[in-house]
Amino acid sequence: SQKIEQNSEALNIQEGKTATLTCNYTNYSPAYLQWYRQDPGRGPVFLLLIRENEKEKRKERLKVTFDTTLKQSLFHITASQPADSATYLCALDNDYKLSFGAGTTVTVRA
């Protein structure tokens, strides 16, 4: 069966450190992968999209890698700030629709 698995444990980190989130998938062949941020009680907001032929993508303090051999994406938040505290979701294209992981909750301590 198809699965998208993200870090099951919440991530608590000190301000200024780098947060690294993992997204592993099985029985998908995505042409691209996306990362979203979701705050409590609100809809997800798009952050980054990376295509299967791209190894790495950056946007400000965010970095995403995509390894189709390992079937894994890593999402990094560098120089983290308390405002980065949220749940982060990965999503894969799946036959003309997006399938989402359960998300990883990140808390950045001041």
Least distance from other proteins to the Cβ atom of residue 5, Å:
10
Q: Angle CA(64)–CA(58)–CA(97) in degrees, nearest 5?
A: 55
Q: For residues 9 and 14, which CB has a smaller minimum distance to other proteins in the complex?
A: 9
Q: Whole-angstrom Cα distance, residue 58 to residue 77? A: 10
What six digits make up the tokens of 72? 């894994």
Q: Whole-angstrom Cα distance, residue 98 to residue 90? A: 10
Least distance from other proteins to the Cβ atom of residue 96, Å:
4
Contacts with other proteins: how many residues (CB under 8 A)?
23
Q: Whole-angstrom Cα distance, residue 22 to residue 5? A: 8
Q: For residues 89 and 108, which CB has a smaller minimum distance to other proteins in the complex?
A: 89
| Binding footprint of other proteins on the chain (CB under 8 A) | 4, 31-32, 34, 41-46, 49, 51, 89, 91, 93, 96-103
